[in-house]
Structure 1
Amino acid sequence: MLRVEPRCRVIIDNDWAGDPDGLIALAHHALSPANRIIAVTGSLTNPMFGPPAGQALAGSALAAELLQVLAVPAPVHAGPDSPFTGRPRDSAAARAIVAAANADGDLPAVLVCAGPLTNVADALLADPGIAGRLTLAWVGGAAADADEYNYFTDPEAAGFVLGNPDLAVWQFPLETYRQLVVSLAELEHRLKQAGDAGAWLWERFDTLQVPDVVKFGPTWCLGDSAPLLVTGLDDVTSSYETTGTAPSRRLYKQLDSRLVVEDFFARLALNNRA
């Protein structure tokens, strides 16, 4: 293949024990030569996935296992299982984010969060100076008044992070990230064709435990993969509104979902053949 030059350093934060589309996004980042992963952190999950105690650690173990399967091993640092308190607390995830943000590098740093902003808030509280050293690409929030999962899992953290005047934020809200959809049939078929990594990922979907009130339809949203457009790919075929000048504030409106989905399945297939 033609050589792809790295374009950014990436810190990836998610609630890995929740919706497995986060693990799809992690695999995509790990297989993308245009970004360089410098830290992976795991956050709390919404109680809808069961009692939160131990979930951040369990999810981090899942993320580490996936990276091992992909032959891209990297440590995953777990955060707390409770929401942001506004008070300093010791957190392996927050320490990892601070260290990665403060590390010297020849590429810009992007903190990709596709879950609650708990670990990001703890990191900014521990070291406010990191706000000027990275860009936050967040999958969450909603342009309309909607009960959006990533925001309402920890609204205090969201308010603290988004209210930071020194932090550049590129936001992929509910109305936008829902554009990244595949059918369950396509997801099962293409993951099962992609070797050990694909089979591992499909098992996470096939064994997902959710309350009985949750009913699955014929499609699945891969919204956590939206930030690949600003890390591992390119947003030239997507669109956003600029809501601030300094620092940069973007609200993404339209996504090139074909680019994201097809690149993921192609990279997973290529990794299987390697």
Structure 2
Amino acid sequence: MLPTVRRRSVLAGSVALAGTALVPVARAAQAPRARLILDNDYSGDPDGLFQLAHHLLSPSVTISLILGSHIHPNDFMDRSTRQADHAATIAGELAALLGVTPPPILAGRNSAPPPGTPPEPTPAVTRIIAEARRSDSRLPLYYCAGAGLTDLAEALRLAPDIGRRITLVWIGGMEWPDLLLGVPPRTDAEYNLTIDSAAVETLFNASDVTIWQVPRNVYRQLTIGMAELENALAQAGRAGAFLLDALQQVRARFPDRLGETYILGDSPLVTLTALQTPYEPDSASSDYVVRPTPKLGPDGRYLPDPTGRPMRVYRTIDTRLTFTDLFAKLRAAAHT
């Protein structure tokens, strides 16, 4: 009979005998590796609520500020004139259901400023500027935006110096024709771009913010079957019920149009920040190209600018990593 061999597990140094089950070991506390400002239309498409829940449950990032932002006037998702206020309220409700003490939650502007309006130092804008100018942290600052860019653009108009301190991760913008691999480009304007196209022009054309862009054809890769989604949310306690209800309210408006899937299009904000690689942290599991930041035309099309600062345009998102991590964290939160 061969002697029993003792093998040291890679799981936090636990020891197990060959052929026997490993004893579960609690994970070590995760120190944050980045600071985040989250900016999304939490009273709009519920994909932003999944992004928020996922970020709040991700220990590798510290969230400095959550901003509720507006969508289009009279949008069917929220026809009120207080969209940003509603978004901030809903974000707080979700954090409470998750059992998480959130960072400050503020409402941004409830609509895009009229053309020619001077920038206004609203509480949200003032807080963005203060976070970008912090000198007591060496953690990189990511501005994670899943809708329009009104409040960030206002902050940059008031304080252009903060641009070099921020990496914008933005879900939005039209397809890049040369990155579609033979698929004809769409010609209609992209939703998040049109929330406040002047703000997007400020970011592309008149700032030095580093941009990581997830354009429309790429965020649509975050398509998931409703059967899988409903099954996962059924195991996620009160927060899961909240998320499922938000989805069902939208789907009930289009009972004959949405089919068997939904797009969690804001989830790449988590993939590209909280789920970076362990060594040499980066979003290495998602494919991107680096190119000069173009100028943005009034119609949202890209105007090449060879002198533009480098930006990333993502071509794929690691959906397996994104969805499995989201559902595992939601299940764990429901049982703590």
Distance 1:212 1:187 in 2: 18
Note the 1:177-188 alignment, pairs <5 A. Answer: 177-188=219-230
Establish whether residue 60 from structure 1 lines up as the match of residue 108 from structure 2. no
The structure with the largest helix share of the pair is 1
> Could you give the per-residue CA deviations for residues 209-265 of structure 1, whole angstroms, max 9, x where no partner exists?
886699322111111011212211022121101013985410000111111011100
Partner of 2:146: 114
Deviates more, 1:176-185 or 1:84-93: 84-93
Q: What is the aligned partner in structure 2 of residue 82 from structure 1?
A: 111
Relative distance call for 1:33 and 1:83 in structure 2 (3 A) is same
Are the counterparts in 1 of residues 160 and 207 from structure 2 also a CA contact under 8 Å?
Answer: no
- For residues 1-274 of structure 1, the aligned pairs below 5 Å read 1-46=27-72, 47-49=74-76, 50-74=78-102, 75-85=104-114, 86-104=117-135, 105-143=137-175, 144=185, 145-208=187-250, 215-234=257-276, 235-244=283-292, 247-274=309-336
1:8 & 1:33 partners in 2: Cα distance?
10
> Using the alignment, how far apart are the partners of 1:7 and 1:71 within structure 2?
22
Task: Give the Cα separation in 1 of the matches to 2:38 and 2:235.
Answer: 26
How well do the aligned residues superpose, as a CA RMSD in angstroms? Answer: 2.1
Normalising by structure 2, what TM-score?
Answer: 0.76
Q: Deviations over 1:42-74 (max 9, x none)?
A: 111223224340111011100011112222222
Q: Displacement of 1:94 after TM fit?
A: 1.5
The alignment-based identity, stated in percent, is 36
TM-score (norm 1): 0.93
Q: Distance in 1 between matches of 2:314 and 2:112?
A: 26
Whichever of the two has the greater Rg, that structure is: 2
Q: Which runs of 5+ in 2 are unaligned?
A: 1-26, 176-184, 277-282, 294-307
- Quick one: structure 1 residues 73 and 57, their matched pair in 2 at CA, closer, same or farther if it must change by over 3 Å? same
* 2:313 aligned partner, one-letter code: L
Seen in structure 2, the aligned counterparts of structure 1 residues 213 and 184 have a Cα distance that, compared at 3 Å, is: closer
Q: Which moved more, 1:107-116 or 1:237-246?
A: 237-246
Unaligned runs of 5+ in 1: none
> 2 CA distance for matches of 1:159 and 1:257?
29
Task: Report the 3-state secondary structure (helix = DSSP H, G, I; strand = E; otherwise coil) of the residue aligned with 1:251.
Answer: strand
Report if aligned partners of 2:35, 2:64 keep a CA contact under 8 Å in 1: yes
User: Residue 97 of structure 2 aligns to which amino acid in structure 1?
Assistant: V
Kept after mapping to 2: 8 A contact 1:226/1:255: yes
Contact 1:140 1:149 in 2 (8 A): yes
Aligned AA for 1:32? Answer: S
Conserved in 1, the CA contact under 8 Å of 2:69 and 2:147?
A: yes
Kindly tell me: are residues 273 and 233 of structure 1, through their superposed partners in 2, closer, same or farther at Cα, counting changes over 3 Å? same
Q: How many residues align?
A: 274
* Conserved 8 A contact 1:84-1:122: no
